[in-house]
Amino acid sequence: MQTLTVEAVDPRDDAAFRRWFSVPAVAHPVDQPHLPAQVLSESLADAPPPGDPYDRWHHLIALVGDEGVGAARIELTSDSPNLAYFTLVVRPDQRRRGIGSALLAAVESWALGVGCAVALSETTRPLPVETVPGAAFAEQHGYRAGTVSVLRTLDLPAPDQHLTAADPGPVPGYRVVTWTDRCPEELLEGRAALNAELGEIPIKGGWAGGTGPESSDDPAAGPHRQPEVWDGDRVRAYEDRLISHGRRALCAGAVHEGTGELVAVTVIARHGAGRPHVHQWGTTVARKHRGHRLGMLVKVANLRQLASTWPDARQISSWNGATNASMIAINTALGYRAVGDGTDWGKVLRSS
C-alpha cells in the first residue's frame, strides 16, 4: 500500500483545490443525501481573501500517492482566536483505514501551532438515520457532544396562504425594509449591532453549505467563544467578500420608527444565478425589541421578496438550535419540515 501523506492546499491553486474538493463531492451523496450537493465555487464562496483581518481558512488534503482520499478545512475568526472550527471528510471507499485519524491529527497539530486551544466540529445526519460514522469517530478522538441543531427545508414557492396566515404585519411602531446584497448606508450601524448579537461569520460552514445558525441567540456559543465585534466597515468587507465570490443575499429588516434604528434582520443567500436551492441565514431581533413578532414579520417579508426576485428558486433550508422554540415555531408555521440534524463537537487541545 502507498504511503498516506497530509498536505496543505492553496485554494487559489485551481488543480490542487479541485483535487481537494473531489473528496467532499464524492462523499456528499453518501453522507448528505437529503441536501443538494455544493458546486466547487460554492465551497469557496465564503472564503476570506489572504490577509483578511477577520477570518482565516486553512485547507488540508490526505493523499494516497497522488489521489485525494481525505479533506479538511479549518476556519479561524479574529473574535475567538483560540477556537479552530473544522470540517473533515474521508472518501467513502477509503474509510476505516486510519485516514480520518491521520487527517485529524494534522488538523489538531496545525490548530495548536497557530495558538488555538479548542477544536470544534460538527456531524450531520439525514433523518431518520440513527447514527453516523462521524459521531463514533469524534468520541473515539476525545470530542464531547454539544449543541444539536435541526435542518429544515421548505419547498418553493412558499404557498401564499401560508405567508398570509403567518404574516403578523403591520406591527405598530415598526416598518419593514428590504434590500439585496448591500445594506443601505443609513442602516449600516444597526446592521453591525445585530451581527454582534448573532454573529454572522460562517464559522459553522459545514459541508452542507448552510452558513451560520438561525437563532435568537447563538446556540454554538460556548465558554471559549468571545463576543463578535462588528462595525460598519466589517459589514461592508463581509458583503464585498460574498459578492466577489458570486453569493447573492436577499435581506429584510424591521426599523423602529421612534429611533430610525434597524432592530431586526433576516438573510436568504444564493450561490450563482439559477441554483434551485437557497439558504436561510441568520435571523436576529435586537433583545430589547423582542416579543413583537418582528422575527416572523421580517421572515415573511423576505420570503415574499424571494418569490418576486428569484421565482426559479425551488427549495430553502434553515438550521435552528434544537431548543430554539421561538424560531422553530416560526419555521413550522411557514411550512418548513425537519430533514436532518447536526451535532456540535468540541475538544480542549490545551489548557489556555
| One residue of 22, 78, 101, 326 binding ligand COA per CB under 6 A | 101
- Region binding ligand COA by CB under 6 A among candidate stretches 34-42, 88-96, 107-115, 265-273: 88-96
Figure out which of the listed residues 1, 15, 96, 185 binds ligand COA, where binding follows CB under 6 A.
96
Least distance from C-beta 30 to ligand COA, angstroms? 8
Q: How far is the CB of 25 from ligand COA (least distance, A)?
A: 13
Output 94 or 331, the one with its CB closest to ligand COA: 94
Q: How many residues does the chain have?
A: 352
Q: Considering only residues 17, 55, 85, 100, which one is a binding residue for ligand COA as defined by CB under 6 A? A: 100
Write out the three cell numbers for 260: 430610525
Stretch that binds ligand COA, among 6-14, 96-104, 154-162, 181-189 (CB under 6 A): 96-104
Only one of the segments 36-44, 98-106, 152-160, 320-328 lies at the binding site for ligand COA (rule: CB under 6 A); that segment is 98-106
Task: Please answer whether residues 148 and 302 qualify as being in contact, where contact means their C-beta atoms are separated by less than 8 angstroms.
Answer: no
For ligand COA, the binding residue among 38, 43, 82, 121 (CB under 6 A) is 121
Buried b (16+ CB within 10 A) or exposed e, 257-269: eeeebbbbbbbbb
104 within 8 A of 138, measured Cβ to Cβ: no
- Three-state SS letters, 119-168: EEEEEEEECCCCCCHHHHHHHHCCCEEEEEEEEEEEECCCCHHHHHHHCC
Q: Does 205 bind ligand COA (CB under 6 A)?
A: no
Is residue 88 a contact residue for ligand COA (CB under 6 A)?
yes
CB-side neighbour CA atoms (13 Å) of 108: 17
Q: How far is the CB of 206 from ligand COA (least distance, A)?
A: 10
Closest to ligand COA by CB, 126 or 133: 133
Orientation of helix 294-309 relative to helix 325-333, angle to 10°: 40
Q: Which residues from 311-350 bind ligand COA, rule CB under 6 A?
A: 345
Q: Which of 137, 174, 310, 336 binds ligand COA (CB under 6 A)?
A: 137
What distance in Å separates the CA atoms of residue 241 and residue 231, rounded to the nearest whole number? 16
Going by DSSP bridges, is the β-strand pair 315-321/277-285 parallel, antiparallel, or unpaired? Answer: parallel
Footprint of ligand COA on this chain (CB under 6 A)? Answer: 27, 31, 88-90, 95-101, 121, 123, 132-134, 136-138, 140, 345
